[in-house]
Amino acid sequence: MEAEIATQAVGLGGETDFSIIKLFIRADFVVKSVIVVLIAASIFSWALIVDKYKLFKKINLSSDEFEQKFWKSKSAESFYNNIPANSNDPLANIFKAGMGEMLKSKTRSSNQSERVSRILEVSTEREMLTIEKYFTFLATVGSTAPFIGLFGTVWGIMNSFQSIAISRNTSLAIVAPGIAEALFATALGLLAAVPAVVAYNKFNSDARKYLQKIENFSKRFLSIL
């Protein structure tokens, strides 16, 4: 420990490198673990943000196109027969499930509407679970990343005080490296949390709007039964 402190002091006496890579290399195991966790969470969050952005853009366009074609069709049954089997649009999948149930229960007209309504609800829930997949991850990163970064900050400051106690020297050369590592962990925590929180709020709002679109379509579809 004394040798490490002396090395840091000598380095600061010249020109200490405070680049991100050097800060990571100088950090101890705990701070390095915090940095790795935060960087991994940030990378996965951004990958998820890009994926969900593309998903909502895609399904909003495909669902609008589906509704336009549906309400312009001559009959629901003929439209159902012409839907591609590999359709990836959630609204189309929900319609296919409901229409399939209606065609199967033609002879049981007394409870047909109830059965179709139940199938539409189940299909809607299934599609929304797929759309909202990993939303909890964004919420978790947004709420915990600052505290994980804060833990790294506290640990780095503790190392700085330990360096002072061992060396009996209060010069900046002793405390600067530990404080720099601590602040770096704080910055990473915020860097991971802020985009995750913003993305979660936006996608959650988009999901509610899309659910409202599904519910409106389901009500109108049931009304034609």
Q: What is the 3-state secondary structure (H, E, C) of 154-179?
A: HHHHHHHHHHHHHHCCCCHHHHHHHH
Write down the pLDDT at residue 8: 45
- Counting other chains too, the contacts that 213-217 makes at CB distance below 8 Å and 24 or more residues apart are 213/63, 213/91, 214/90, 214/91, 214/94, 214/124, 214/127, 214/128, 215/124, 217/67, 217/91, 217/94, 217/95
Evaluate if residue 43 carries a pLDDT over 70.
yes
Q: Which residue has the higher pLDDT, 162 or 216?
A: 216
Give residue-wise pLDDT tens across range 71-99: 888 888 888 888 887 888 999 999 999 88
180 falls within a domain? yes
3-state secondary structure of 134: coil
128 falls within a domain? no
Confidence band for 145, pLDDT divided at 50, 70 and 90: very high
Write down the pLDDT at residue 132: 94
Write down the pLDDT at residue 198: 96
Write down the pLDDT at residue 41: 95
Task: Give the range of the structural domain holding residue 191, as residue numbers without chain letter.
Answer: 2-79+135-223
User: Taking residues 180-208, what's their average pLDDT?
Assistant: 92
Mean pLDDT of the residues in the chain:
83
Evaluate if residue 5 carries a pLDDT over 50.
no
Write down the pLDDT at residue 152: 87
104 falls within a domain? no
Select from 132, 149, 136 the least CA-distant residue to 196.
136
106 vs 117: CA distance, rounded Å: 14
Write down the pLDDT at residue 4: 45
107 falls within a domain? no
Least confident of 38-42, 130-134, 160-164, 221-225: 160-164
Count of domains observed in the chain: 1
127 falls within a domain? no
Would you tell me the crossing angle of helices 29-72 and 90-104 to the nearest 10 degrees? 50
**Cα distances (Å, whole numbers) of residue 176 to 16, 27, 83:** 9, 12, 66
67 falls within a domain? yes
Name the most confidently modeled range: 28-32, 69-73, 112-116, 165-169.
69-73
146 falls within a domain? yes
Write down the pLDDT at residue 75: 82
Evaluate if residue 164 carries a pLDDT over 80.
no
